[in-house]
Amino acid sequence: MDKKEYNKSLCAFIDILGYKDLIDKAEESSEPLIIINKIEEIIEVCIKEYLDSKNTEDVNKYSYEIFSDSIIITTQIEHDETSEGYEEYLYKEMYILCLIVAGIQVQSINYNIIFRGAISIGNHYRSKNLMFSKALVNAYKSESNKAIYPRIIIDTCYCNDKDLKSEKLLNSLIRSGLIFKDKDIYFVDYIGRINSLRYFGDFSERNLKKHKTFIENNMKDYYNQSEVLKKYVWLASYYNYKLRIDDKDLEINLDGYQKVELEEQIRFTSVFIVESDEGKRIIDPSKISPGTTIIL
């Protein structure tokens, strides 16, 4: 192995949830194969969409693989962590990767596909037939042991990069609206991303309605399977938290699901201070109405 090619990289390891059902259904219908092909198209579109302002070299440094139920997206870190401006550089790279991941999650709603995964950092080597990666191991451990629910988390447990774990970086990503904090777990805020696009057309509202129906149907289907049910109840709780104040018609009714015990309860930490008729107050950014004056 050429040591020069074993370089620090960001890695997103993503599991396609419900993959076994897709495999089983593929024996009877071509639709699951169409969905898997669509996921590959979505990944390519999202990478190009969020890098269209960059040059070809930047686009080519992003790579991805899909095998079995897993998606791996990597990008090389080209600045040394001791160099001046490394924090700002890492923020930019994380911002872009989170945008790509959120885009994949949003677009996949059209096919009722949800994911669980993690983003981490570490050395990474890839050739045509071999992948040798500490970044991937970190992301896999984080996904397996910490993600729990259908979300793509930021690894703050297994990686050694202090900057990826820094409150400054994580809080900057929260303020950008790209990640969300549930207790001590940070994860990509794809529903927040949908909300941020709602003023540009009805695509986002259609996505929310489709996602609502998907979550509700799965809560009913798995009502007697507690381990699966709690994942959808968590997802419904996150979904409801991210709705705007005037979105009561889109809210998921959780009556009858109070018996479900979650390892973690959603607690909002993605907030802004705004100026209103009542004075300054703290508010969830998804509930900010047009014309609101944001103080912070």
Q: What's the CATH number where 172 sits? A: 3.30.70.1230
In sequence order, the 6+-apart residues with CB closer than 8 A to the CB of 161 are 8, 81, 121, 122
Neighbours of 115 (CB within 10 A): 24
Q: What is the pTM of this model?
A: 0.84
Question: 197, 232, 261 — which closes off a domain?
Answer: 197
> What b/e string do you get for 61-95 counting C-beta neighbours within 10 Å, with b at 16 or more?
bbebebeebbbbbbbebeeeeeeeeeeebbbebbb
What mean pLDDT is reported for the chain? 82
Neighbours of 106 (CB within 10 A): 20
Is residue 192 within 8 A of residue 270, CB to CB? The reply is yes
Sheet with 279-283, strands from edge to edge, namely 279-283, 272-276, 293-294
Would you place residue 1 in the very low, low, confident or very high pLDDT band (cuts 50, 70, 90)? Answer: very low
**Nearest-angstrom CA–CA distance, 104 and 74:** 14
> What's the chain's length in residues?
296
Domain count, the chain: 2
Query: What domain range includes position 218?
Result: 202-250
Are 211 and 166 part of one and the same domain? no
The two tokens of residue 46 are: 């999202």
Is it the case that residue 204 has pLDDT exceeding 90? Answer: no
